């Protein structure tokens, strides 16, 4: 048995409701929790602010949107002084990150807000030196005249994530030297720099067993690259 047909006024209101994805120049998605607007880069930026207390590590989260963010899907990652990702205890299980899926927050629009997230100080491994937050999705619920809207990154949360989002040191001397050399002359070798950053980010964000498989080929590639630009890359270019 079918219910009553929607009134003409209700249909008109639905038709007039702004599409949050198009409103923010995002092509894919409907802006609902089931079909979030898709964006490629990090939109909400988070920096570890400190300190860590009983409520978790404090992150300064910049919300460039005019709307107050009330919902997050995020993960907190922990690293030692050498940038090695640490395994942590969440409940009674060993995990590579503290996954926070669908948590309520209050981050006012166009402001930076300090938000405590992740493990309490008493639960941190002793080796922790750096703490980072990856925000994979966020949104705001309907409130008054504000339409609910949800957004998700095309970069999902994975079990492994290198320090600085994978842009930190790899531990492969040839590759770290090659990237540093390319960064001194980005105009000469823009494609090589982009490709190398992508490769090293993939390596840093891979599981340890995968890194072992990739290391030899990556080392050879970086060694060849260093030789190829040895006398052609100058900081003044």
Measured torsion, CA atoms of residues 209, 210, 216, 221, in degrees rounded to the nearest 10: -160
pLDDT above 60 (res 27): yes
d(CA 200, CA 189): 16
Residue 165 near residue 59 (C-beta atoms within 8 A) = no
- In sequence order, what are the beta bridge partners of 79? 85, 130
Neighbours of 190 (CB within 10 A): 11
Exposure string for 98-108, b = 16+ CB within 10 A, e = fewer: bebeeeebebe
* 17 CB-near residues (< 8 Å, 6+ apart): 147
pLDDT top residue among 207 and 20: 207
Q: Enumerate the domain spans of the chain.
A: 15-161, 173-229
- CB-side neighbour CA atoms (13 Å) of 190: 1
Residue 225 has pLDDT above 70, yes or no: yes
pTM of the predicted model as reported, rounded to 2 decimal places: 0.81
pLDDT digits (tens, 9 = 90+) for 150-164: 999 988 888 999 999
Whether the per-residue pLDDT at 216 is higher than 60: the answer is: yes
CA 162 to chain centre: 11
Mean pLDDT (the chain) is: 86
Q: What is the pLDDT of residues 54-95, one digit of tens each?
A: 999 999 999 988 889 999 999 999 999 989 999 999 988 999
pLDDT at site 224: 94
pLDDT of 147: 76
Three-state SS string over 85-130 comes to: ECCEEECCEEECCEEEEEEEEEECCCEEEEEEECCCHHHCCCCCCE
Residue 88 exposed, middle or buried by CB count within 10 Å (0-12, 13-18, 19+): buried
Report the pLDDT value the prediction gives residue 176, as an integer from 0 to 100: 94
Structure tokens at 182: 């390319």
pLDDT at 209 over 90: yes
Tens digit of each residue's pLDDT (9 = 90 or more) over 111-144? 999 999 999 999 999 999 999 999 999 999 866 5
Where does the pLDDT of residue 8 fall: very low under 50, low under 70, confident under 90, or very high at 90 and above? Answer: very low
- What pLDDT does 142 receive? 66
Mean pLDDT value across residues 107-112: 94
Angle between helices 208-229 and 190-204 (to 10 degrees): 160
Domain 15-161 coded CATH 3.40.1000:
no
Intra-chain end-to-end CA distance of the chain, in Å: 73
């Amino acid at each position: 048995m079918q219910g009553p047909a929607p009134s003409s006024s209700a249909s008109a209101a639905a038709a007039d409701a702004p599409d949050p994805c198009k409103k923010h120049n995002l092509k894919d998605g409907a802006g609902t929790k089931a079909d979030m607007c898709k964006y490629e880069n990090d939109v909400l930026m988070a920096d570890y602010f400190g300190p860590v207390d009983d409520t978790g590590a404090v992150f300064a989260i910049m919300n460039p949107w005019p709307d107050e963010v009330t919902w997050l899907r995020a993960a907190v990652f922990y690293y030692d002084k050498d940038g090695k990702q640490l395994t942590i205890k969440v409940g009674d299980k060993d995990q590579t990150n503290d996954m926070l899926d669908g948590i309520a927050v209050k981050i006012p629009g166009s402001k930076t807000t300090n938000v405590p997230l992740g493990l309490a100080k008493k639960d941190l491994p002793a080796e922790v030196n750096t703490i980072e937050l990856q925000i994979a999705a966020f949104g705001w619920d309907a409130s008054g005249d504000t339409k609910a809207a949800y957004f998700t990154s095309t970069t999902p949360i994975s079990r492994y994530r290198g320090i600085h989002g994978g842009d930190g040191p790899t531990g492969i001397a040839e590759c770290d030297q090659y990237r540093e050399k390319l960064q001194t002359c980005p105009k000469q070798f823009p494609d090589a720099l982009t490709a190398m950053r992508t490769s090293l980010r993939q390596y840093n964000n891979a599981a340890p067993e995968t890194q072992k498989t990739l290391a030899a080929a990556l080392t050879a590639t970086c060694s060849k690259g260093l030789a190829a630009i040895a006398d052609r890359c100058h900081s003044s270019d």
